[in-house]
Homo-oligomer: A and B are copies of this chain.
Amino acid sequence: MQLEQPTGAVFVQTTLKVLGGKWKLLILWYLKDEPKRFSELKRSIPNITEKMLMQQLRELEKDEIIVRNVRSTVPLKVEYSFSDYGKTIIPVLIPLCDWGKEHLQRINS
């Protein structure tokens, strides 16, 4: 019995692992159009703790979806933005958003 080839089932799971954190989709959505500073993200997502924001950003960075850019000015300036590779995930985000919108309308009526 030989190893099976990955199938569609494996692929969808793979994507979910990258996007699956509680805040990741949210973060990516806010980063989609323009780079944002740490504090800007924090303000955009009031409920998130600094620890979680940090953690999720690091994971997205490790998956090479986003890029961390540091200016060693005073005060410190750190910007997060999509990497070129990360941008390939935007076509995935759009249908996700569209369906969520429809679904929200459905369950609210």
Q: What is the interface of chain A, defined by CB distance below 8 A to chain B?
A: 6, 8-16, 18-20, 25-26, 29-30, 85, 88-89, 91-93, 95-104, 106
Chain B residues closer than 8 Å to A29, beta-carbon distance: 8-9, 12
Secondary structure of the A contact surface, majority rule:
helix
Number of this chain's copies in the assembly equals: 2
Residues A95 and B95 in contact in the complex (CB < 8 Å), given A25-B16, A103-B14:
yes
A100 CB → nearest B CB, Å: 3
Does the CB pair A10–B95 fall under 8 Å?
Answer: no
A99 to B92, alpha carbons, bound, how many Å?
7
User: Do the beta carbons of A11 and B95 come within 8 Å of each other?
Assistant: no
Known: A12-B26, A14-B101, A88-B99. 7 other contacts (CB 8 A): A6-B104, A12-B25, A13-B26, A13-B100, A14-B104, A16-B25, A91-B95
